[in-house]
A and B are shown apart, each in its own frame.
Chain A
Amino acid sequence: MTFSRRTFLGTAAVTAGLLAAPMVRAQGKPRVVVIGGGAGGATAARYLAKDSQGALDVTLVEPTRTYHTCFFSNLYLGGFRDIGSLGHGYGTLASDYGINVIHDWAVGVDRDAKTVTLAGGSSLPYDRLILSPGIDFVDGAVEGWDVSAQTAMPHAYKGGTQAELLKAQIMAMPQGGTFAMVAPPNPYRCPPGPYERISMVAHLLKETNPTAKILLADPKESFSKQGLFEEGWNRHYAGMVERIGPDFGGANVSVDPQAMTLTIDGDVNDVDVCNVIPAMKAGRIAEIAGITDGNWAPVNAADMSSKMDPNIHVLGDAAAQGDMPKSGFSANSQAKVCANAVRGALTGSTVFPARFANTCWSLIDTNDGVKVGATYEATDEKIAKVDGFVSATGESDELRAATYQESIGWYDGIVADMFG
């Protein structure tokens, strides 16, 4: 059964009636509500529904009807994917897995009553709640920027329309213009993401605007796959990318979205496009639920349960879990551990020990793919790294091309694992 937000907003009285029906049918079945239909939430909902074979009543709350993955959005910027190829619907999760997919915003969590309130006004009771809300931005993290400035200076860090806007702005840059990025401090979604983006923007500009410059203000001393990216920038985009690290004021930045300036350590730079990726925090519903400590929601590694409420689990970017990077792959991995544990708790099925893995592929230029990955285990304190690898500098062209092909296969694999 699928509800639309329009239904809720349009006819509240009828909606209440509609909502009552599945609850009566589901009476007696343990109820799991999943908030957020990305790599964590969609995977958790799918595995819960698939593996419980009807023993659980699974509801997935996600505002968008077509979910555009943030992962691979850089490849869209670079011209390697079209935006349509990154969009995915929830039809199969509803029709083939029997998941109640509700397209609405979750705006409240009553932990005592164990209910979730939706923007449409209705209330969803749960036995277990899984929050996978992704990220929001820390207010005031970049002086001069807030979300109201995201049209002039896009973050483009949640996929979809923001990515399209950023690409349109890059394509409209004057010849020889400047693309600027304000990179985020740790921890943030997709550690190699800003640097893959620099690579993809450089690739696009090299084709369309070869005299353009790229200015990167970075508050971090070092970053993910740094040696690989810097090697690639020298090799493919020599002279195009200027990175200003914290030693030279990269952490001391402000922007003026009206004037289109980026000020780094007092130096005012006129820029044509400014991609501001501010400091991040857990998606807002985690904070509303009262399960955050600082910017993130701390969890127990064994089952991704909140350290503040045993009936709530937190997946993916929003969770403070230990050593795993915030990535779609990590969220997908955590979702399967969580689904196994939640199903066990609610139906008595076997709970197997937690185990996690992550791999992140990045594209530097055509057929120049690299990757980093690790395996993880649950300890009493956190998710702890077991083993890992990273691509080496100086690898053969053939290996880099094979790595890129592999990343395409991974994309197809993970979206099949998320959306069925």
Chain B
Amino acid sequence: MRRHLLLLAFMGAASHGIAEVGGDPERGEELFRQCSSCHQVGQGAVDRIGPQLNHIFDRAAGEAEGFRYSAGFERAAAGGLVWTYDTLDSFIENPRVLVSSTRMSFRGIADQQDRDDLLAYLRLFSSSPANIPEAAPTAAAVDHAVAPAVLAIVGDPAYGEYLSGECTACHQASGAATGIPSITNWPTDDFVVAMHAYKEGVRAHPVMQMMAGRLSDEEIAALAAYFESIQ
């Protein structure tokens, strides 16, 4: 059903005169999986680690309401960066070339066809045509079930700050990311889910499995509270 709606959406888009976007949105949807640990798009999409991407086309950079952008993005926004096909294409090719200190920990997509496909998919969720049903929210960010009681723990940011010393040997407190992802300003739920996923071995990374492996539920909540709080 979802596939069907997407196809309709693409046909609708094409009939509205943006067929020059030469990508394959179905393939783009698959490519979007690598984005979906941080970004949501479609019906009900909300800001997670990265901003939601509905209506990204022709949106000014750094404009998603309520999302805390990196200083680099604020500078780019102040400089008048607007998301067009070309600027998005260039950003996705290599995020740091366009916005040098973005927190987006993503190496980029070198292949032009892949970028075209991805942008064709994202294009489905921007502006006109109206009355096209949107896809369901992308839920891949929640890759591990964490009990509501654990998610509900309110962490102690002071303890989190102390514990964060174990993180900042690798992850930069400024949010800058070069080979190791940024972990600042994540929604606390996302942080908690990710850490439990490492702790349980659901996410594969030996250093993170080891570091998360000895964190208690309270300690994970404390870290989430701290990293959510720092600018």
Query: Which positions in A face B, CB cutoff 8 Å?
Result: 47, 51, 329, 332-333, 336-337, 340, 350, 352, 355, 357, 359, 371, 373-375, 386-389, 391, 405-410, 412-414, 416-417
Contact = CB atoms under 8 A, between A and B. Distances in A.
B159 A413 contact: no
A47 B173 CA distance: 13
B37 interface: no
B214 A416 contact: no
B178 A409 contact: yes
A387 B169 contact: no
Contact of A373 (B162, B172, B180, B206): B206
A409 B177 contact: yes
B174 interface: yes
Interface in B172-223: 172-174, 176-180, 206-207, 209-211, 213-214
* Cβ-closest 8 pairs across A and B: A409-B179, A409-B180, A336-B165, A389-B206, A405-B179, A413-B170, A408-B179, A352-B162
B158 interface: yes
A413 B210 contact: no
Nearest to B167: A413
A332 B163 CA distance: 13
B171 interface: yes
A393 to B, nearest CB: 15
B172 A416 contact: yes
Bin chain B's interface residue count. Answer: 20 to 34
B213 A352 contact: no
A360 to B, nearest CB: 11
Contact of A408 (B161, B178, B206): B178
B179 A350 contact: no
Given A352-B159, A373-B206, A417 B168 contact: yes
Given A333-B166, A409-B180, A387 B172 contact: no
Given A375-B211, A375-B214, A413 B168 contact: yes
B207 A359 contact: yes
20 contacts: A47-B165, A329-B169, A332-B169, A333-B165, A337-B165, A340-B162, A352-B159, A355-B163, A373-B207, A373-B210, A375-B210, A375-B213, A387-B210, A389-B210, A406-B180, A408-B178, A409-B179, A412-B179, A414-B169, A414-B170
B179 A406 contact: yes
B179 A407 contact: yes
Given A375-B211, A388-B210, 14 more contacts: A333-B166, A333-B169, A336-B165, A373-B206, A373-B210, A375-B213, A375-B214, A387-B213, A389-B207, A389-B209, A391-B206, A405-B107, A414-B169, A416-B172
Contact of A410 (B159, B179, B211, B213): B179
Interface string B74-86: 0000000000000
Contacts of A417: 168-169, 172-173
Contacts of A51: 161
Contacts of A47: 165
A355 B215 CA distance: 11
A359 B177 CA distance: 18
A297 to B, nearest CB: 22
Most buried by A among B171, B179, B211: B179
Contacts of A405: 107, 179
A191 B166 CA distance: 21
B158 A350 contact: yes
A46 B100 CA distance: 26
A51 B162 CA distance: 10
A375 B163 CA distance: 13
A222 to B, nearest CB: 22
Contacts of B210: 357, 373-375, 387-389
Contacts of A391: 206
